[in-house]
């Protein structure tokens, strides 16, 4: 008994019409890092929601056993009392409050009665910050911290509650490489202090790095649990378990058919819209040919998104200067609709908050950028709209009940397909794709790559921003490296490698110093 | 069957409100011993509520844009009523140009609000709260604290007049009956065209039985309504205005590109902007339109009262806002229909009227309306939380 701190036995959870979990078993050892991997919709989040009491006892079948004792959590409070804390992908911090206030939110350090003892709060907060190596003033407001540090504050918050089992849902999804590394290091440190961690992650390379055991879920069932040093712990092996088949190649092949230069941005300068003195993009010049997939690699905050958005009809930035040429002719865009009219599309990195209208259905989202195409004068032909929606739903294999389904109800991969449908429908010549596969599972990623390749084969110009270097290397014909708002390197697919890209960034950092 | 399910889930609130309206009508019809639906009272209900329905139409567009509301409409309506009174009664301007100029001033007020909200970025709540104070104050200034009355007949006609009949049959208004028949024919033609077009696209259409049942029942309602009007004085002039506005705004919001842009903006402003929607323009024009409709409502209210008073329009904004929310609009924007807002407005109007007939005092009426608003929105919140769980 003593070996496992937590067991979940024969967990079955049904939603109306769907069996989300079917007889799932999970056993977790004390002071181990246990990873749960699986495609989107495999049931990872549902399982963790059951464990943390989001879905109360009685709404599922099976047993949860914590330290040998059967637990029946009615809500999150009860699971927290048992030392189980979940940190969701969307952080639950109050941006306008300070670090210290956030850390003890809901767990306030009181003196007498309901009065908060601020001395105690501060003292404890400073202690905790040291423990995880967060070098910040405890009075700093959370909104002024980067994502990586916010994530740490969440962890401190959990530690302050005397956590025994820490569950992290996609902890590194929004972090850059360096922050991710620090976070993973911290997890190992916590493990050494006796805290058990469960991490849910799409980033299999990270999982392989830190996990002691990996449980693979597929379609609501447990496929297998792999143990370090006993089983094959390679990425390929894990992916195979997740998708249920061997993925021969993670990146589909493309018939390269590269034509003339189609899109050029010259001497592009952009200033921060909130701070006139801060130059975000510094004299950037790039070009892209027809049928070419051009990558922009770089760390988070290197200015890639700002660059793409400012090019897309000045959707970002102030005092923008520079020239944009398409097919050799200069084009001037005042706003996003000008950009669309000029055959440029921008698929944002943030699908949910800026890419889709989640309360609207699939068809409405698809036709939005190009309503005149389904309209006579100003009147929208709704039947035509449904027809087009249906066409793209089939072509891009958007899993949904019909084109009338709200996009907010779709999974990440399918949402991204709606975003692609929308921009393909606007018939652009140049597509700016910002993190096209963020938060999407392996299978859906492959499908998105296929769509990108098909577009390139049709002669579209693709400019792709990605933080995942393997993706950039696997997909692009040519790669620009961006750092601190400048282009610091240009590599062809043949000469590019992860090391070379990082070298470009490092070298430029030295030059700046 | 599945499609019906999807359809119902999306529009559940609106159907519930229509059912609620019918239930309330039947209830008061029984309790008032048939007075509620008497020909005289039907005309009354229309004339009593016209200005709220007009305001609710404009307010819905404001609410669609991210739940913004316009608090100034009551004051603007009062202000425009006062201005038109000054034009006509003090400056002896002819009625028609006076109304036209008053409406134009309404549009300019809309431009004023739209400018601050869309281009400067002052929150709509603050801008229109300021507008509420500004125009209430200006109303008192130009009326110098007194009322102006009476108006010429041609002015009050819009609010209180009836369209003259085409013949002289005793006890029945032929024009009204004819209008009912023409409206029925137009409606049937529209439905048939829509069905044919759906078939052309090979979409599923409802069974011909259900289709005819729907047509028969709606035609019956239209004709029962016009028949009731015919037995009193015929078609109230203001009904023509309200019906045209409802048709025009329903069409704009559901079938046109500007309408789509309004909904898209309300659903997610960032995504709409990145999809090429000119978001500032959308916001600006929504408020310009609200200014125009507030002015129209002001003229109708002043005409009905046959006097311009400093207090005219007090609290209209709240009735208009309540109509929209009772009719299914979302407080965060992007959801709601013109028809819903009208149903919400009518529901409150019938409640008012029915309770007045019963002799319930104004104070109680106010309180009951409050409960209805809370119940309607609570129902919405509850049904949504359930649908999310699925």
Query: Reduced to 3 states, what is the DSSP secondary structure of residue A492?
Result: strand
pLDDT at A179: 82
Q: Edge-to-edge, what's the strand order for the sheet holding A261-271?
A: A279-289, A261-271, A318-326, A329-330
Task: Please tell me if residue B200 touches chain A, with a CB cutoff of 8 Å.
Answer: yes
Query: Reduced to 3 states, what is the DSSP secondary structure of residue A23?
Result: strand
**What's the Cα-to-Cα distance from A95 to each of A90, A114, A125, A149, B388, rounded to whole Å?**
12, 24, 17, 12, 26
User: Is a pLDDT exceeding 50 seen at residue B389?
Assistant: no
pLDDT at A144: 86
The more confidently predicted of residues A513 and A238 is A238
CA distance B199 to chain A (A): 10
Residue A504's pLDDT band (cuts 50, 70, 90): confident
pLDDT at A18: 67
Residue A53's pLDDT band (cuts 50, 70, 90): confident
Find, in chain A, the residue whose alpha carbon is nearest to that of B198: A383
User: Is a pLDDT exceeding 80 seen at residue A40?
Assistant: no
pLDDT at B303: 95
Count of C-beta atoms within a 10 Å radius of residue B4: 9
For B50-66, write each residue's pLDDT tens digit: 999 999 999 999 999 98
Residue B143's pLDDT band (cuts 50, 70, 90): very high
User: Is a pLDDT exceeding 70 seen at residue A41?
Assistant: no
**Rounded CA gap, A268 and A321, in Å?**
6
The residue ranges of DSSP E strands in A344-441, in sequence order, are 344-347, 375-376, 379-380, 430-434
| Contact status, residue A241 vs residue A219, Cβ threshold 8 Å | no
**What is the separation of C-alpha A232 from the centre of its chain, rounded to a whole number of angstroms?**
27
Task: Please tell me if residue A18 touches chain B, with a CB cutoff of 8 Å.
Answer: no
Please give the average per-residue pLDDT across A404-413, as a whole number: 86
pLDDT at A1: 42
Q: Which residues of A touch B258 (CB under 8 A)?
A: 378
- In sign, the C-alpha dihedral spanning A89, A90, A91, A92 is negative
**Rounded CA gap, A305 and A349, in Å?**
8
Average pLDDT, chain A: 88
| Contact status, residue B79 vs residue B36, Cβ threshold 8 Å | no
User: Is a pLDDT exceeding 60 seen at residue B6?
Assistant: no
Contact between chains at B274 and A315 (C-beta distance less than 8 A): yes
Write the burial class of residue A387 (CB in 10 Å: 0-12 exposed, 13-18 middle, 19+ buried).
Answer: middle
Residue B2's pLDDT band (cuts 50, 70, 90): very low
Query: Reduced to 3 states, what is the DSSP secondary structure of residue A476?
Result: coil
Contact between chains at A339 and B263 (C-beta distance less than 8 A): no
User: Is a pLDDT exceeding 90 seen at residue B205?
Assistant: no
Residue among A16, A358, A405 minimizing CB distance to B390: A16
Structure tokens at B327: 């009719």
- In sign, the C-alpha dihedral spanning A223, A227, A228, A231 is negative
Task: Please tell me if residue B386 touches chain A, with a CB cutoff of 8 Å.
Answer: no
Q: Which residues of A touch B201 (CB under 8 A)?
A: 383-384, 386-387
**Rounded CA gap, A301 and A314, in Å?**
18
**Rounded CA gap, A364 and A370, in Å?**
10
- The answer to which of A161-175, A378-392, B233-247 has the lowest mean pLDDT is A161-175
pLDDT at A19: 77
pLDDT at B356: 92
Contact between chains at A382 and B2 (C-beta distance less than 8 A): no
Contact between chains at A357 and B270 (C-beta distance less than 8 A): no
The 3-class secondary structure across B150-168, one letter per residue, is CCCHHHHHHHHCECCCCCC
Q: Which residues of A touch B270 (CB under 8 A)?
A: 353-354
Closest CA to B148 of B8, B387, B309: B309
Please give the average per-residue pLDDT across B172-187, as a whole number: 93
* Torsion, Cα of A232, A237, A242, A248 (10° steps): -170
Residues paired with A270 in a beta bridge: A281
Task: Please tell me if residue B6 touches chain A, with a CB cutoff of 8 Å.
Answer: yes
User: Is a pLDDT exceeding 50 seen at residue B71?
Assistant: yes
Contact between chains at B260 and A380 (C-beta distance less than 8 A): yes
Cβ-count burial A409-419 (b if 16+ within 10 Å, e if not): bbbbbbbbbbb
Task: Please tell me if residue B272 touches chain A, with a CB cutoff of 8 Å.
Answer: yes
Count of C-beta atoms within a 10 Å radius of residue B360: 15
Which of B271, B272, B389 to substitute to test the interface with A, most A CBs within 10 Å?
Answer: B271
pLDDT at A162: 85
Contact between chains at B268 and A356 (C-beta distance less than 8 A): yes
CA distance B373 to chain A (A): 23
pLDDT at B251: 95
**Rounded CA gap, A57 and A50, in Å?**
8
Q: Which residues of A touch B388 (CB under 8 A)?
A: none
**What is the separation of C-alpha A136 from the centre of its chain, rounded to a whole number of angstroms?**
26
**Rounded CA gap, B128 and B70, in Å?**
5
Which of A18, A60, A310, A336 to substitute to test the interface with B, most B CBs within 10 Å?
Answer: A336
| Contact status, residue A358 vs residue A411, Cβ threshold 8 Å | no
Strand A165-169 with A84-87, pairing: parallel
For A310-330, write each residue's pLDDT tens digit: 999 999 988 999 999 999 999
Residue among A354, A360, A364 minimizing CB distance to B274: A354
Q: Which residues of A touch B271 (CB under 8 A)?
A: 348, 353-357
φ and ψ of B95, to 5 deg: -60, -50
**What is the separation of C-alpha A146 from the centre of its chain, rounded to a whole number of angstroms?**
15
For A278-301, write each residue's pLDDT tens digit: 899 999 999 999 999 999 998 777
Helix (H), strand (E) at residue B20: helix B2-31
Which of A20, A360, A380 to substitute to test the interface with B, most B CBs within 10 Å?
Answer: A360
Find, in chain A, the residue whose alpha carbon is nearest to that of B256: A379
Contact between chains at B334 and A360 (C-beta distance less than 8 A): yes
Query: Reduced to 3 DSSP states, what percent helix, strand and coil does chain B have, rounded to the nearest 5?
Result: 75, 0, 20
**Rounded CA gap, B22 and B15, in Å?**
11
Count of C-beta atoms within a 10 Å radius of residue A235: 13
Residue B153's pLDDT band (cuts 50, 70, 90): very high
Task: Please tell me if residue A54 touches chain B, with a CB cutoff of 8 Å.
Answer: no
**What's the Cα-to-Cα distance from B57 to each of A229, B63, B67, B249, B289, rounded to whole Å?**
69, 10, 14, 7, 10
User: Is a pLDDT exceeding 60 seen at residue B11?
Assistant: no
């Amino acid at each position: 008994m003593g070996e496992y701190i937590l067991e979940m036995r024969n967990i079955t959870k049904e939603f109306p019409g769907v069996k989300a979990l079917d007889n799932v078993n999970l056993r977790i050892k004390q002071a181990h890092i246990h990873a749960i991997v699986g495609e989107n919709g495999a049931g990872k989040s549902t399982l963790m929601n059951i464990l943390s009491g989001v879905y109360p006892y009685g709404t599922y079948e099976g047993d949860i056993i914590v330290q040998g004792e059967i637990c029946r959590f009615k809500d999150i409070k009860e699971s927290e009392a048992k030392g189980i804390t979940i940190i969701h992908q969307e952080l639950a911090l109050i941006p306008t409050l300070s670090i210290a206030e956030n850390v003890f939110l809901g767990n306030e350090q009181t003196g007498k009665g309901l009065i908060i003892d601020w001395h105690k709060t501060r003292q404890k907060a400073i202690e905790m910050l040291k423990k995880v190596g967060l070098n910040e003033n405890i009075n700093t407001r959370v909104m002024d911290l980067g994502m990586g540090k916010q994530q740490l504050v969440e962890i401190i918050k959990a530690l302050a509650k005397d956590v025994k089992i820490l569950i992290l849902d996609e902890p590194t999804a929004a972090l850059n490489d360096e922050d991710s590394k620090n976070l993973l290091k911290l997890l190992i440190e916590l493990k050494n202090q006796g805290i058990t961690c469960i991490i849910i992650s799409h980033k299999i390379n990270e999982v392989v790095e830190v996990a002691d055991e990996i449980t693979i879920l597929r379609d609501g069932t447990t496929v297998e649990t792999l143990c370090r040093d006993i089983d094959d712990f390679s990425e390929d092996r894990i992916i195979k378990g997740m998708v249920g088949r061997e993925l021969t190649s993670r990146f589909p092949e493309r018939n390269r058919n590269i034509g003339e230069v189609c899109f050029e941005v010259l001497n592009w300068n952009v200033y921060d819209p909130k701070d006139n003195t801060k130059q975000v993009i510094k004299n950037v010049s790039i070009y892209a040919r027809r049928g070419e997939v051009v990558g922009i690699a770089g760390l988070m905050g290197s200015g890639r998104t700002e660059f793409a958005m400012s090019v897309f009809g000045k959707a970002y930035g102030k005092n923008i200067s520079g020239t944009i040429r398409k097919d050799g002719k200069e084009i001037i865009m005042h706003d996003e609709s000008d950009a669309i009219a000029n055959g440029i599309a921008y698929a944002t990195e943030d699908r949910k908050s800026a890419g889709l209208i989640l309360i609207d259905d699939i068809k409405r989202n698809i036709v939005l950028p190009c309503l005149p195409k389904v309209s006579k004068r100003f009147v929208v032909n709704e039947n035509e709209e449904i027809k087009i929606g249906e066409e793209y739903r089939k072509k891009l294999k958007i899993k949904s009940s019909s084109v009338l389904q709200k996009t907010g109800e779709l999974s990440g991969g399918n949402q991204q397909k709606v975003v692609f449908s929308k921009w393909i429908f606007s018939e652009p010549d140049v597509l700016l794709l910002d993190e096209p596969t963020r938060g999407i599972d392996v299978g859906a990623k492959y499908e998105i790559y296929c769509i990108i390749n098909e577009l390139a084969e049709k002669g579209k110009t693709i400019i792709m921003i990605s933080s995942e270097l393997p993706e950039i290397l696997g997909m692009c014909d040519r790669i620009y490296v961006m750092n601190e708002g400048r282009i610091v390197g240009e590599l062809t697919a043949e000469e590019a490698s992860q090391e070379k890209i990082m070298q470009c960034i490092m070298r430029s950092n030295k030059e700046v110093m | 069957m599945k499609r019906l399910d999807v359809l119902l889930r999306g529009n559940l609130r609106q159907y519930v409100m229509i059912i609620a309206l019918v239930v309330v009508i039947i209830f008061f019809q029984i309790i008032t011993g048939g007075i509620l639906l008497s020909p005289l009272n039907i005309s009354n209900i229309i004339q009593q509520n016209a200005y709220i329905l007009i305001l609710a139409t404009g307010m819905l567009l404001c609410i669609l844009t991210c739940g913004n509301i316009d608090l100034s409409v009551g004051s603007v309506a009062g202000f425009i009523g006062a201005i038109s009174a000054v034009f006509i009664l003090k400056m002896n301007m002819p009625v028609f140009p006076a109304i036209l100029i008053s409406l134009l001033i309404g549009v300019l007020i809309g431009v004023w609000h739209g400018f601050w909200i869309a281009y400067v970025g002052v929150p709509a709540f603050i801008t229109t709260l300021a507008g509420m104070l500004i125009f209430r104050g200006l109303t008192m200034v130009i009326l110098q604290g007194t009322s102006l009355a009476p108006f010429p007949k041609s002015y009050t006609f819009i609010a209180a007049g009836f369209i003259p009949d085409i013949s002289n049959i005793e006890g029945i208004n032929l024009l009204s009956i004819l209008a009912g028949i023409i409206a029925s024919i137009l409606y049937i033609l529209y439905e048939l065209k829509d069905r044919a077009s759906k078939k052309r696209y090979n979409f599923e259409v409802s069974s011909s039985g259900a289709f005819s049942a729907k047509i028969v029942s709606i035609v019956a309602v239209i004709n029962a309504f016009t028949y009731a009007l015919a037995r009193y004085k015929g078609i109230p002039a203001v009904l023509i205005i309200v019906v045209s506005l409802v048709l025009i705004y329903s069409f704009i919001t559901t079938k046109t590109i500007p309408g789509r842009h309004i909904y898209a903006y309300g659903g997610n402003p960032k995504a709409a902007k990145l999809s090429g929607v000119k978001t500032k323009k959308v916001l600006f024009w929504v408020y310009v339109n609200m200014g125009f409709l507030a002015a129209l409502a002001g003229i109708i209210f002043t005409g009905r009262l046959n006097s311009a008073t400093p207090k005219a329009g007090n609290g209209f904004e709240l009735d208009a806002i309540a109509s929209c929310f009772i009719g299914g609009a979302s407080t965060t924007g992007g959801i709601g229909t013109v028809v819903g807002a009208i149903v919400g407005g009518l529901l409150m109007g019938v409640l008012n009227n029915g309770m007045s007939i019963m002799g319930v005092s104004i104070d109680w009426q106010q309180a009951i309306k409050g409960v209805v608003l809370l119940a309607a929105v609570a129902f919405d919140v509850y049904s949504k939380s359930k649908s999310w769980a699925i």
